[in-house]
Amino acid sequence: MYQEEFMKRALALSTQALHTPGTEPFGAVVVKDGAVVGEGFNHSVAHFDPTSHGEIEAIRDACRNLRTVNLAGCDLYTSCEPCALCTAAMHIAGIRKLYYAASLAQSGQAFEGVPVAARHPIDVEALRAEAGAPLGQGALPTEQRLAGEAVEILKAWAATRR
């Protein structure tokens, strides 16, 4: 169930980027049972980490705080519609529901005229298409090598878990 206080917290984290060097204005919180269990905002430039999006950081924080990689039953509130990377991470973590403020179209309009050098640009539509394409059918060149050796390692790991 949507609760405005959590969206306002995501927006407050987004606002921190206005005064924090190396950040961008994307904030997010993970909520479980009516309490914030994880927070994050975009540190991509500051941490030299292209995956350090607000949603990813909030998921990482929630997982550490709850000592789990399963966030089933948790909701995520974010200041902006997430990219494919963040959406995929939400699926992997088991986020139950996403609430977002600005749409991608709205954020694109807000960033019009900002030089590429002043931001970390992502072509979100291209990313979504690429992320959904089977390997070898997208823009990223791929080759498979040493599959047999890799499968043996996977089987050995799996055998210790049975």
- How many helices and strands in the chain, by DSSP H and E? 7, 4
Residue of 43, 53, 39 whose CA lies nearest to 21: 43
Q: Are 71 and 62 in contact (CB under 8 A)?
A: yes
Is residue 149 part of the annotated active site? The answer reads no
- Residue 58: in which H helix or E strand, if any? helix 54-66
Tokens standing for residue 17: 């980027």
Please, what is the Cα angle at 159 between 153 and 162, to 5 degrees? 150
For residue 29, which amino acid is it? V
Catalytic residue among 55, 57, 81, 112: 55
Catalytic positions are 55
